[in-house]
């Protein structure tokens, strides 16, 4: 049966302007870091994309090495686009990145012009696209001049292979320099993607202020701290959890008694607000006008629908914020 997107898909999602640009992003965007590789069930991956789009999530975020194996998330996303979204490309924001190891040898990693241009060419082939909407440099490269990396992003935009340029995992000082170089080149930096959650608050050390001052959007990843900011670990480690199944980015060492105590107190706070802990964690990020969108991951379509519940209450009283800060 041919997929037909929901006619009501734009009714309930909120859209926010990205920095000083003309682009609006949905308050929640779908990240394809996990659950879209060849190791995953393709029909489930397909249902995740459909569910997101049916609920107004128009932005899909990838990177060259998402999988596993690396590259397979882009390939599978390309298949889903062809099967289900032919004719809907102009309703979608698709982003990819390069900056981590993708292929062997000296040209398959970091931030050289050679790597970034080659990587995006590969990504476009995998997704069978003419262009991506946003292309990010995925992490700062200590050995390549920042000017070279930013000139590569500028070139890619001028070639029409990406509409906008972004950066990810840059600290405040690095971001300020990158944004200044891009501005001088005439390709403004659209957006920055940092790791940011109630448990990882580094962007508050100047980065959010830089982004606000420069009119650059912000889209945090890992907003639920790999699942810690949910109620799933309050009574031990579930068998189907990321800790139990992969243990790569989150393992038992992260789940300390102190952490469980924090999660429990935050969970009580969320209940007082009439929310689940996961909803409150997403809302806590979205309360900040400097945050354009938040990247959610999902392994089940129901989780996407559930995450959207967070948008019903993204305001916090000063007292609530003080209590949360005290817990953290």
Domains of the chain: 15-226+289-316 (3.20.20.100)
Lowest-pLDDT choice from 70-74, 88-92, 243-247: 243-247
Closest residue by Cα to residue 201 from 124, 139, 262, 284? 284
What's the confidence (pLDDT) of residue 247? 54
User: In whole angstroms, what is the distance from residue 257 CA to residue 63 CA?
Assistant: 34
Helices 172-185 and 146-158 pack at an angle, to 10 degrees, of: 50
Q: What is the pLDDT of residue 248?
A: 58
Q: Which of 30-44, 207-221, 222-236, 302-316 comes out lowest in average pLDDT?
A: 222-236
pLDDT over 70 (residue 5): yes
> What is residue 234's predicted lDDT score, i.e. its pLDDT?
85
> For residues 206 and 234, which has the higher predicted lDDT (pLDDT)?
206
Rounded Cα–Cα distance for residues 63 and 295 (Å): 13
Residues 169-191: tens digit of each pLDDT: 999 999 999 999 999 999 999 99
For residues 84-100, average pLDDT: 98
pLDDT tens digits along 11-28: 999 999 999 999 999 999
């Amino acid at each position: 049966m041919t997929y037909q997107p929901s006619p009501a898909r734009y009714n309930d999602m909120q859209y926010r302007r990205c920095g000083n640009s003309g682009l609006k992003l949905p308050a929640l965007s779908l990240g394809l870091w996990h659950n879209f590789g060849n190791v995953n069930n393709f029909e489930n991956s397909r249902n995740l994309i459909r569910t997101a789009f049916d609920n107004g999530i128009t932005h899909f975020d990838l990177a060259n090495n998402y999988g596993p194996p690396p590259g397979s998330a882009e390939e599978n996303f390309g298949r889903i686009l062809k099967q289900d979204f032919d004719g809907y490309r102009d309703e979608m924001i698709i982003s990819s990145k390069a900056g981590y190891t993708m292929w062997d040898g000296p040209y398959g990693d970091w931030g050289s012009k050679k790597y970034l241009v080659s990587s995006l060419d590969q990504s476009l082939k995998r997704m069978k696209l003419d262009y991506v909407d946003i292309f990010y440099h995925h992490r700062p490269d200590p050995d390549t001049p920042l000017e070279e990396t930013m000139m590569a992003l500028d070139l890619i935009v001028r070639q029409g292979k990406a509409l906008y340029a972004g950066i990810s995992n840059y600290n405040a000082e690095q971001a300020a320099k990158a944004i200044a170089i891009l501005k001088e080149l005439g390709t403004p930096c659209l957006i920055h993607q940092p790791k940011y959650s109630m448990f990882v608050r580094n962007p508050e050390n100047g980065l959010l202020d830089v982004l606000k001052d420069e009119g650059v959007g912000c889209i945090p990843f890992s907003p639920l701290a790999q699942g810690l900011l949910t109620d799933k670990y309050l009574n031990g480690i579930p068998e189907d959890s990321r800790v139990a199944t992969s243990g790569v980015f989150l393992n038992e060492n992260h789940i300390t008694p102190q952490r469980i105590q924090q999660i429990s107190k935050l969970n009580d706070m969320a209940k007082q607000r009439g929310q689940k802990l996961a909803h409150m964690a997403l809302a806590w990020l979205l309360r900040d006008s400097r945050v354009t969108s938040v990247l959610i991951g999902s392994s089940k379509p129901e989780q996407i629908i559930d995450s959207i519940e967070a948008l019903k209450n993204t305001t916090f009283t000063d007292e609530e914020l003080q209590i949360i800060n005290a817990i953290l």
